[in-house]
């Protein structure tokens, strides 16, 4: 499967009375690093769960190239998910397995490589993320930041063609954030995957994003390049890029 | 006023009925899928054996203790009555029959529910609320096949084995009590062989297989559909135990009354 272009069409989702997505329209470019930003509680994680077909919308649709993921049958969805990687905001590591087993899990489950190669690949990923020698540690003893990085390694092991990261650098110190940002860029270049990153880290967003989508009040408020965002005169956008005090500063 | 009371009562009954039906529906679909997946390759044999170890081997001690004391106390109770009619030779067969047909299967199932059914609800519930189950789904690893099928099969396979052990230990417990109460070994054991027929044992084993299915599938269902953080996991766990207990006892009655 080549890296798809993902198109979200008028996606709506409510939980009880609360309408979280009020008609989201956006395009996530093939082989590019697409960012999704917006205030906390604005529905970014919910949007990612729709993009991975973990949730079904009240209305609207999502297309991977021309293929609707909500009309796909079980087998088609299976094929799609083999090429999909998702980093959950909270990691969602399997706490009954060790660090190494967690990272190896997708490859082990789908028997895509020999056991020896899986171990090698998993160790290499852990090393890239500053977790050398953690292979046999148990998940329970990891810090939040370590968990996040193990989960990133797990999302990468099958070298998927579509990668979703839900706040990959939240909870990491600046040094490690830099390492993760670099890794995302490097993976994008090497595998040509379509990458989608939900982030609060404006500096990283403006440096590594090819395209940024700002979610505001359940809709896409602005979609464009980092340049577009930097020069925007809109209050909502400025608040995100320059922080709450942008008015006073000017 | 009385009218609004009636309508609200009807609404309440309706809501409860809908709730029950929707639970039953989802439960049936989940169990059915889990059973179907058992016969669809590829199999992860290791996770089946792991669950059999958890359900079977790890429950051995508690099942042996329960069986031993149940057989013992049952003998203690009946021995006086049987003495009155000089029916001492019937004590052994009665204990053996009660253990294999009723006490062994039911008590083993109740003990294993407390140990294993609740643990399954808690484990799957925790996996649900920390999104580990969603993580499996996104990795194209079907959580029903990967998590639930091995647990249900472990229950169906291991409960009859545990029950057989419980039956045997219960008769041994009865034997010791009978000896202490002055029966001699021949009196106790002599007629067990010609009174206890193979059917008694089969009845017990079929029952225990059904109980094994009930306690694992209910535990998994409660965990799999649990909501609302740590509190939700707690509720799922107690709910699973209560529902399993009731289902096992009702199921036992129905099977005894209509099938055997
Ligand atoms: N499964 C759910 N059930 C009910 N409400 C939910 C669920 N998932 C998310 N929400 C609500 O949707 C809103 C958006 O959540 P989320 O997407 O996690 O925000 P964020 O943009 O910070 O990732 C929140 O108010 C959250 O409480
Ligand atoms: Mg979020």
Instruction: Tell me whether B140 touches chain A (CB under 8 Å).
Output: yes
CB A207 within 8 A of CB A222: no
Task: Say if the Cβ atoms of B141 and A49 lie within 8 Å.
Answer: no
Select from A114, A136, A159 the last residue of a domain.
Answer: A159
Q: What would the pLDDT profile of A121-172 be if each residue is shown by its tens digit? A: 999 999 999 999 999 999 999 998 899 999 999 999 999 999 999 999 988 8
My answer on whether A181 and A113 are in the same domain is no
Rounded to the nearest integer, the mean pLDDT of chain A is 91
My answer on whether A130 and A246 are in the same domain is no
pTM over 0.80: yes
Q: Which residue of B has its CA nearest to A110?
A: B141
My answer on whether A98 and A78 are in the same domain is no
My answer on whether A154 and A128 are in the same domain is yes
pLDDT of residue A171: 84
What is the sign of the dihedral through the CA atoms of B83, B89, B94 and B99? positive
Which residues of chain B fall short of a pLDDT of 70?
1, 260
My answer on whether A193 and A78 are in the same domain is yes
What is the rounded CA–CA span in Å between residue A199 and residue A192? 21
A176, burial (CB in 10 Å: exposed 0-12, middle 13-18, buried 19+): middle
My answer on whether A225 and A189 are in the same domain is yes
For residue B55, the Cα-to-chain-centroid distance in whole angstroms is: 11
In the A/B pair of chains, how many CB contacts fall below 8 A? 45
The highest-confidence range among A148-152, A199-203, A239-243, by mean pLDDT, is A148-152
Q: What would the pLDDT profile of A74-126 be if each residue is shown by its tens digit? A: 899 999 999 999 999 999 999 999 999 999 999 999 988 898 999 999 999 99
Q: In a 3-state reduction of DSSP, which class is residue A195?
A: strand
Cβ count near A41 (within 10 Å): 9
Q: Concatenate the DSSP letters of all residues of B57-122 into one string.
A: GGGHHHHHHHHHHHHHHHHHHHHHHHHHTT-GGGHHHHHHHHIIIIIHHHHHHHHHIIIIIHHHHH
My answer on whether A118 and A172 are in the same domain is no
My answer on whether A143 and A183 are in the same domain is no
What length is written for chain A?
A: 250
Task: Say if the Cβ atoms of A94 and B135 lie within 8 Å.
Answer: yes
In which domain, by residue range, is A149 found? 93-159
* Cβ–ligand 1 contact at A218 (below 6 Å): no
My answer on whether A146 and A178 are in the same domain is no
Task: Say if the Cβ atoms of A88 and B131 lie within 8 Å.
Answer: yes
Please confirm whether the linkage preceding B42 is cis (ω < 30° from 0). yes
Q: What would the pLDDT profile of B116-173 be if each residue is shown by its tens digit? A: 999 999 999 999 999 999 999 999 999 999 999 999 999 999 999 999 999 999 999 9
> Dihedral (C-alpha) B78, B84, B89, B93: value to the nearest 10 degrees?
-30
């Amino acid at each position: 499967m080549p890296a798809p272009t993902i198109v979200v069409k008028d996606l709506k989702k409510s939980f009880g009375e609360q309408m979280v997505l009020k008609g989201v329209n956006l395009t996530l470019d093939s082989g590019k690093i697409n960012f999704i930003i917006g205030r906390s509680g604005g529905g970014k994680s919910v949007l990612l769960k729709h993009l991975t077909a973990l949730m079904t919308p009240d209305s609207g649709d999502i297309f991977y190239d021309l293929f609707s993921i909500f009309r796909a049958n079980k087998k088609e969805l299976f094929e799609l998910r083999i090429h999909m990687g998702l980093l959950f905001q909270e990691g969602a590591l399997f706490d009954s397995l060790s660090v190494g087993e967690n990272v190896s899990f997708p490859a082990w489950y789908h028997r895509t490589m020999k056991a020896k190669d899986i171990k090698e690949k998993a160790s290499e990923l852990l090393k890239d993320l500053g977790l050398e020698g953690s292979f046999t540690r148990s998940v329970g003893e990891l810090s939040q930041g370590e968990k996040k990085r193990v989960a990133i390694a797990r999302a990468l092991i099958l070298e998927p063609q579509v990668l979703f990261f839900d706040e990959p650098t939240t909870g990491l110190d600046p040094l490690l954030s830099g390492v993760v940002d670099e890794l995302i860029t490097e993976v994008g270049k090497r595998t040509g995957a379509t990458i989608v990153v939900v982030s609060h880290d404006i500096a990283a967003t403006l440096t590594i994003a090819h395209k940024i989508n700002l979610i505001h009040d359940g809709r896409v408020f602005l979609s464009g390049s980092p340049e577009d965002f930097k020069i925007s005169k809109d209050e909502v956008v400025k608040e995100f890029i320059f922080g709450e005090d942008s008015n006073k500063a000017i | 006023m009385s009218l609004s009371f009636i309508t609200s009562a009807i609404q309440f009954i309706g809501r409860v009925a809908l709730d029950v039906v929707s639970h039953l529906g989802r439960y049936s679909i989940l169990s059915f899928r889990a059973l179907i997946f058992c016969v669809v390759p590829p199999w992860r044999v290791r996770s089946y054996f792991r669950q059999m170890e958890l359900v079977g081997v790890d429950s051995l001690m508690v099942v042996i203790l329960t069986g031993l004391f149940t057989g013992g106390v049952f003998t203690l109770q009946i021995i006086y009555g049987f003495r009155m009619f000089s029916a001492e030779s019937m004590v052994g067969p009665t204990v053996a029959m009660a253990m294999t047909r009723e006490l062994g299967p039911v008590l083993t199932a109740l003990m294993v529910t407390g140990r294993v059914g609740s643990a399954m609800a808690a484990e799957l519930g925790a996996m649900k609320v920390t999104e580990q189950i969603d993580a499996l789904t996104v990795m194209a690893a079907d959580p029903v096949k990967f998590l639930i099928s091995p647990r249900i099969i472990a229950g169906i396979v291991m409960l009859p084995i545990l029950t057989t052990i419980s039956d045997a230990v219960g008769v041994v417990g009865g034997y010791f009590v009978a000896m202490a109460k002055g029966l001699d070994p021949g009196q106790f054991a002599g007629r067990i062989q010609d009174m206890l027929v193979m059917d008694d044992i089969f009845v017990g084993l079929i029952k225990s297989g059904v109980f094994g299915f009930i306690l694992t599938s209910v535990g998994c269902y409660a965990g799999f559909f649990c909501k609302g953080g740590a509190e939700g996991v707690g509720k799922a766990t107690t709910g699973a135990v209560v529902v399993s207990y009731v289902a096992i006892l009702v199921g036992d009655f129905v099977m005894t009354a209509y099938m055997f």
